[in-house]
Amino acid sequence: MGTFNDIRARFEMAINEVAKWKESMQTAYNGFKQGGRWIEPKTGEIMRCEFDPEEPENDIADFLMLSGIKADDYSIEPANYSGKFDSWGVTFNKPISFYGKDIKPNVAYAVINAVDFSGKGPQIIGDKDLTPDKLGLPGTFQSQTALIDSAKASISRTITQPDYIEFCHKLIDAVATQKESFNDVSKIEGIKQEFIINYDLNEYADKIDAKSIKTIEKDFGEILGGIFMFSLIGEDGSGVTFPQESNLKLVDFFFDGLAISSKAGKGAKASSSGYVAAIESAIKQANWQPTVEELDVLDKLLRPLVAKPSEPDNSIFLKGSRSSGTFSNSVRLFNAHLDSKSAWSYWIDETRMPAGNLNRDAIVQSFIDLKENGKLNKTISNFTRMTNIKSSGGKNGKLVNALIKARNEKQSVQALNDILDQGLYDILIGLILYGASKELQVVINNQYGDALTSIINKSTTVKQLYLDFKIKKDQIKFTIKAMENSNFKLGTLNGIDSWKTKAISIYMA
């Protein structure tokens, strides 16, 4: 499958350049709101940046106006594109050029606030604020001292609050105290080991907001991970490399040619696209042939998970929305792998949904049909019992739970009407998709679990480096796990309230 450097070169070739329209928009936004948080928008989004929490829609309208877009050219309404951040859907009534990007009419584009304003107060350190890219640290550092000096200088330039600067500097100092345990990168092949660093951090438990701590753990963890690897292995190799404009699948940085995936806490479940890319690349580069069982995993599970969207157009409830790959790929797998005894089949049978040509409108309509036929409470109760769904969190958890926990038809109808009146169709879709994804998880892991693990083990030599802050215990914990000897499982959709935020995942068990 090639040397570490071969793998590194292959991943480096997969880097995508940032679209020019995003760069132009960022420049304009920086002039519009100096010091405001801006994050590169993802597919389906036109803006992901900080807006006034008191009057966000006015703020968005002002920025669009300054961008040459008149108020009569679009409509805006609250949406649920992100389970964590406030979001809106902006629909244009004519073709628009947005910093050189062609915007289609009658299609809802996502606008997401880049700051979480829920809870006691805003987080000071936002998502992506402390990534290597944002801190200007892409490139190679051949010594720990060089990396530490650059990281501290960048932190001091980037963060304005003294306590937060001091906290990040203390984290760097703490991680640098890790004693060398290996004298060569090859010695951690197949490793699974925890490393506990004891350092006095307790005073920051009350100085740093909890959301920022989580964000620092996730984003700044990549840089701390590089510092840790120097301490763990030494400086005899080629050092740490943070890829330029990194968009690599599964990999966050390289240490002496070793590919490292940085994780916070227990680690987010990776999307399937990274594994598919790694597997297909390994097959091509190393010229090896998967077994029949491994090919089944690739053809019947992994490739369908990352296929292009094929959802039929929505023309009633989600009129103008673009086709969702997460939706169509999930439905394809449900139809292929869930049998007649599943809750998915039960819902289709009870509602007569067109399973083979399904769109999101049809799922919303299925709830309305059940209401009109007086079968809403019974059908939802049976479906949630079969999928073991008992409650939902998230922004719209109360609305969802009213529907899930309704005791009779009247309560079910009221709960459904409340959801429909607010146009929150995605949570109805999420209830069915998330439940079916839980069923799919069981079926796939029972039927394909061994082959899934086998083909990933053969295709990857990436090490996962987990970072877990225990501030009140004055501890920082790193855990290294090797993909090539780990077990892998299929996950589920993200949840009822946030199913759109991430496709069905694969995770290390």
- pTM for this prediction: 0.70
- What is the pLDDT, as a whole number, of residue 294? 92
| Predicted confidence (pLDDT) per residue in 260-315, tens digit | 888 887 666 666 777 888 888 888 776 678 899 999 999 999 999 989 889 999 99
- What is the pLDDT, as a whole number, of residue 10? 46
- What is the pLDDT, as a whole number, of residue 348? 97
Out of 264, 280, 305, a domain closes at 264
256 & 400 share domain: no
* Residue 465 zone, left/alpha/beta (φ > 0; ψ -120 to 50; rest): beta
Distance CA 137, CA 217 (A): 17
Residue 420 lies in a domain: yes
Does residue 44 surpass a pLDDT of 70? yes
Query: First and final CA of the chain: distance in angstroms?
Result: 24
352 & 225 share domain: no
Q: Which residues of 330-351 are buried (b: 16+ CB within 10 A; e: fewer)?
A: bbbbbeebbeeebbbbbbbebb
Assigned token pair, 119: 């809870």
278 & 233 share domain: no
Banded pLDDT at 11 (limits 50, 70, 90): very low
| Predicted confidence (pLDDT) per residue in 198-240, tens digit | 999 989 988 898 888 988 999 999 999 999 999 999 887 889 9
Residue 5 lies in a domain: no
Q: Where are the alpha helices (DSSP H) in 303-375?
A: 303-305, 325-337, 343-351, 360-372
- What is the pLDDT, as a whole number, of residue 381? 97
| Predicted confidence (pLDDT) per residue in 371-428, tens digit | 999 999 999 999 999 999 998 877 788 999 999 999 999 999 999 999 999 999 999 9
Residue 118 lies in a domain: no
- What is the pLDDT, as a whole number, of residue 38? 85
Residue 474 lies in a domain: yes
What are the beta bridge partners of residue 78?
88
% of the chain at pLDDT higher than 90? 50
Identify the CA nearest to 103 among candidates 74, 70, 80: 74
Residue 39 lies in a domain: yes
Distance CA 154, CA 172 (A): 13
293 & 217 share domain: no
Residue 315 lies in a domain: yes
Residue 2 lies in a domain: no
| Predicted confidence (pLDDT) per residue in 422-450, tens digit | 999 999 999 999 999 999 999 999 999 99
350 & 399 share domain: yes
- What is the pLDDT, as a whole number, of residue 247? 53
411 & 363 share domain: yes
100 & 242 share domain: no
Banded pLDDT at 4 (limits 50, 70, 90): very low
Residue 4 lies in a domain: no
Banded pLDDT at 368 (limits 50, 70, 90): very high
| Domain that residue 419 falls in | 272-509
Out of 113, 140, 161, a domain closes at 113
Identify the CA nearest to 443 among candidates 508, 403, 492, 509: 492
Does residue 121 surpass a pLDDT of 80? no
72 & 181 share domain: no
Q: How many C-beta atoms lie closer than 10 Å to residue 322's C-beta? A: 17
215 & 138 share domain: yes
Does residue 16 surpass a pLDDT of 50? no
- What is the pLDDT, as a whole number, of residue 270? 64
- Higher pLDDT pick, 132 / 39: 132
Banded pLDDT at 248 (limits 50, 70, 90): low
DSSP string, 28-49: HHHHHSTT--B----TTEEEEE
| Amino acid in position 25 | M
Q: How many independent structural domains does the chain possess?
A: 3
Q: How many C-beta atoms lie closer than 10 Å to residue 85's C-beta? A: 18
Out of 264, 287, 315, a domain closes at 264
| CA atoms in the 13 A half-sphere facing the CB of 420 | 16
82 & 134 share domain: no
Q: How far is CA 435 from the centre of its chain?
A: 19
277 & 243 share domain: no
421 & 301 share domain: yes
Does residue 173 surpass a pLDDT of 80? yes
Residue entry with tokens 């449900």? 334
